[in-house]
Amino acid sequence: MIITETPEGCITIVALNGTLDASTAPELQKSPAINNASQTVVIDMEHVDFLDSSGLGSLIGTLRKKRNMSAETLLSCMNERISQVFEITNAHRLFHIFDDTSAAVDYATQLNSRK
Amino acid sequence: MNSIITLTLPSDLIFTRFASQTAEKAALLLLNSCDADTGNWQFTHAFELAVSEAFSNAVTYAEQHSTIQPVVITFIFEQQRLTVTIRDTNQEFSTETPAPDIDSYPERGYGLLLIRTLMDSVTCIRENNANILSMSKEV
């Protein structure tokens, strides 16, 4: 999996490209923006071709870590296959999910301005 | 089409995607063979995801119990039905585990929930010191 981090003001867009499953999920946890628990991130899933429960678990782990430090994990651009995993597990209730990354960035910026 | 294909993979998570993509292709092959809609992504993705879950579970439990043996995946094509079995030699497990409570933010435990939701039938039997998880779905 290829992970690209792009700073956007006080948040970071983390763009994922590839598969997020049991063999690649640990790579996400090594990403600097993910590891920086106090930094809000927008995870752009547009180029994630497959996600299983291990990948979902790594996203939930990220969310939990960030919320413990009053930061957020926003998701954007999920395809219908990935959305199905979130709906079956009810994980869509935990996350703010956006159709496009710019909307997620705008929301994250508003959140940060309220702090 | 009535055929059986058997795939033996090393017990290593690096082969998870190989297993899941093979399952997706097997589902697509069945759709083709019975002149069904090959754009039926729900059918192909169900097998892709279910096999990813089952294979990674088998490998992870083997690592935890130091019983690393190959994982055998069998694809059984019957008319409009595809059945996939995953055979491992780990400790016995049950498919009746409860679904995780999402509100407590669990990071694990969704695999069987996904498999049970996506497949028409799921069984697990213990035979000759091996677990055989069988997952089946009709077009």
pLDDT digits (tens, 9 = 90+) for B14-73: 999 999 999 999 999 999 999 888 889 999 999 999 999 999 999 987 766 666 689 999
Task: Indicate whether A35 pLDDT > 80.
Answer: yes
Domain ranges for chain A: 2-25+39-114
Which residues in chain B have their CB less than 8 angstroms from residue A89's CB?
Answer: 100, 102, 110, 113-114
Which residues in chain A have their CB less than 8 angstroms from residue B17's CB?
Answer: 19, 21, 23, 50
Interface test with B, best of A53, A79, A83, A87 (most B CBs within 10 A): A53
The third-level CATH classification (topology) of the domain covering A2-25+39-114 is: Transcription Regulator spoIIAA (3.30.750)
Name the maximum alpha-carbon separation found in chain B.
Answer: 45
CA distance B113 to chain A (A): 7
Give the ipTM of the model, two decimals please: 0.91
Residue with tokens 């910026």: A109
Range of the domain at B128: 2-138
- Predicted TM-score (pTM) of the model is 0.92
Nearest-angstrom CA–CA distance, B114 and B45: 11
CA distance A75 to chain B (A): 16
Q: Which of A82-86, A89-93, B96-100 has the lowest mean pLDDT?
A: B96-100
**CATH classification at residue B56:** 3.30.565.10
Residue B80 contacts residue B125 (beta carbons within 8 Å): no
Task: Indicate whether A79 pLDDT > 80.
Answer: yes
Question: What is the arrangement of strands in the sheet containing A41-51, beginning at the earlier edge strand?
Answer: A2-8, A11-20, A41-51, A73-76, A96-98
Chain A, 49-108: which have a CB under 8 Å from a chain B CB? Answer: 50, 52-54, 56-58, 60-61, 63-64, 80-81, 84-85, 88-91, 93-94
DSSP state of B23: H
Nearest residue in chain A measured CA to CA from B60: A22
Please name the residue ranges forming H helices in B10-101: 16-33, 41-64
Tell me the CA distances in angstroms from B39 to A74, B26, B76, B79, B139, one per residue in order.
30, 14, 21, 19, 12
Return the H-helix or E-strand segment holding A28: helix A25-29
pLDDT digits (tens, 9 = 90+) for B69-123: 899 999 999 999 999 999 988 777 777 778 888 888 888 899 999 999 999 999 9
In this complex, which of A19, A53, A80 lies closest to B110 when CB atoms are compared? A53
Query: Number of Cβ pairs closer than 8 Å across A and B?
Result: 72
Count up the domains in chain B and report the number.
Answer: 1
Interface test with B, best of A73, A79, A83, A89 (most B CBs within 10 A): A89
CA distance A56 to chain B (A): 7
Q: Cβ contact (<8 Å) for B16 and A57?
A: no
The pLDDT of residue B64: 66
Tell me the CA distances in angstroms from B63 to B12, B69, B100, one per residue in order.
9, 10, 23
